[in-house]
Amino acid sequence: MTLHTDPAADQPGRPLTRQDYRTLALAALGGALEFYDFIIFVFFAVVVGKLFFPPDMPDWLRQFQTFGIFAAGYLARPVGGIVMAHFGDRLGRKKMFTLSIVLMTIPTLGMGLLPTYASIGILAPLALLALRILQGAAIGGEVPGAWVFVAEHVPSRHTGYACGTLTAGLTSGILLGSLIATALNTWVDQATIAAWAWRVPFLIGGVFGLISMVLRQWLHETPVFVEMQARQALAAEVPLMAVLRRHKPAVAVSMLLTWFLSAAIVVVILMTPAYLQKQWGVAPALALQANCLAIVALTAGCVFAGRAADRWGAGATLVAGCLLLAVSSFVFYRAMAHGPALLFPLYSLAGFATGTVGAVPFVLVRAFPPEVRFSGLSFSYNVSYAVFGGLTPLGVALWLKSDALAPAHYVVSLCVLGCLVGAALLLSGRRAVSVPA
């Protein structure tokens, strides 16, 4: 697999400027607010399951169907991602970077206003499913577009830092969701949450969407895309067709790394609060407090992994990070079977190790040439996430019926995959993914 740098961004002597930091900050903040809209659902999966499905349904089936609706958002990602990426490669990165916010804000507000099963019966989960699909289409364009946008704004030797910082911004959206969920579960009793307070986080998400729209207006088109327009070097054919014809190895590596990323984020960060409550009886407030600390550690880990990829290469970063994640997550889940005494330190360590995913977009961005970069990255990332990220909650939920440590075993398995891909990058000698600082 050939790894690409951009002549328009390849400025070895140029440090990050004030404008670069401003672009990174605005992109990361806007991404955090939009990602909050997408993931707030999972923090209220337990109460949503009770409100949107028949009360006489078995608990395991209710949880399975609730996570099924959550998974539908991931299954819808490829459609939105591929369409927006096509126009992002043809018309510009910024236009699609802004459009994704509009597509996210409307369904998030809609979720906060939906009637429950008690009011409209089977129409309630069907409406929830439809809105979740719209959210998935929006996030399908947001994440790949954000990585491409920041990577093309900075000098090549800072690609890892830019992608790691943006990924940290996205994970901050998860933190924001966890903080709001923690506050509700700490200060409001469960009866009030079930009655009406569960709607508040979704309505707040609509406000966040409007803020994100304003932030994105201050951003400028990437120098790489402007330079391609000036040279009339945009893709001569449909960008996705060019990707599928000429960049199959890049697609394969990108999909494998996305599978690892999905295992780390979905299981360790998104599913674990509900797992701790259901499997080991941890109080909701305590589980969410620990989750907040883990996400703070994850955010720091993403920036660290991006810096490490710049300095030592993505291969070495992935191997070391996957080993740390495998050990820390296994110890964490196994310890929870004996009580929550070490919940906070062990979950924080696992969260930091999960930050290894900050090195993944570094490889994905460099895997495709700029004229088809958005389409190549978006197709690989979204299809892989739809299959593996979308089915992971369902698979782990079913696995839990026979194995109480299913999350640990799944994460360790994917860490092995991450190590193999990292080792392949090392052995191939493709140090072009890293420009020493």
Q: Over its length of 437 residues, how does the chain's per-residue pLDDT go in tens digits? A: 656 665 545 555 567 788 888 888 888 887 888 788 877 887 787 788 888 888 878 777 877 787 788 778 777 888 888 888 888 887 878 888 778 888 888 888 899 999 988 889 889 889 999 998 888 888 888 888 889 988 888 888 889 999 999 999 888 888 888 788 888 888 888 889 888 899 999 999 888 888 877 877 788 887 778 887 777 667 667 888 889 988 899 999 999 999 999 889 989 998 898 889 888 888 888 888 899 899 999 999 999 999 999 999 999 999 999 999 999 999 999 999 888 889 999 999 999 999 999 999 999 999 998 888 989 999 999 999 888 877 888 788 889 888 989 999 999 999 999 999 999 988 876 444 333 33
* Domain spans in the chain, listed from the N-terminal domain onward: 18-433
Beta-carbon contacts of residue 168 (< 8 Å; ≥ 6 apart): 28, 299, 300, 302, 303, 355, 358
Q: How far apart are CA 158 and CA 143, in angstroms?
A: 19
Contacts of 364 (CB under 8 A, 6+ apart): 144, 147, 254, 257, 258, 377, 380, 381
pLDDT at 433: 38
Confidence at residue 163, expressed as pLDDT on a 0 to 100 scale:
93
- What is 18-433's CATH topology? Growth Hormone; Chain: A; (1.20.1250)
* Three-state secondary-structure class, residue 31: helix
CB-based burial of residue 153 (10 Å sphere; 0-12 exposed, 13-18 middle, 19+ buried)? buried
Query: Burial level of 36, CB count in 10 A (0-12/13-18/19+)?
Result: buried
Q: What is the pLDDT of residue 3?
A: 62
Copy the structure tokens of residue 390.
């979308």
DSSP class of residue 7 equals T
Q: What dihedral angle (degrees, nearest 10) is formed by the CA atoms of 119, 58, 287, 331?
A: -150
Q: Which of 278, 321, 389, 335 is nearest to 39 (CA)?
A: 389
Crossing angle of helices 373-384/123-151, nearest 10°?
140
Q: Residue 56: is it exposed, middle or buried by C-beta count within 10 angstroms (0-12/13-18/19+)?
A: exposed
Q: What pLDDT is recorded for position 162?
A: 93
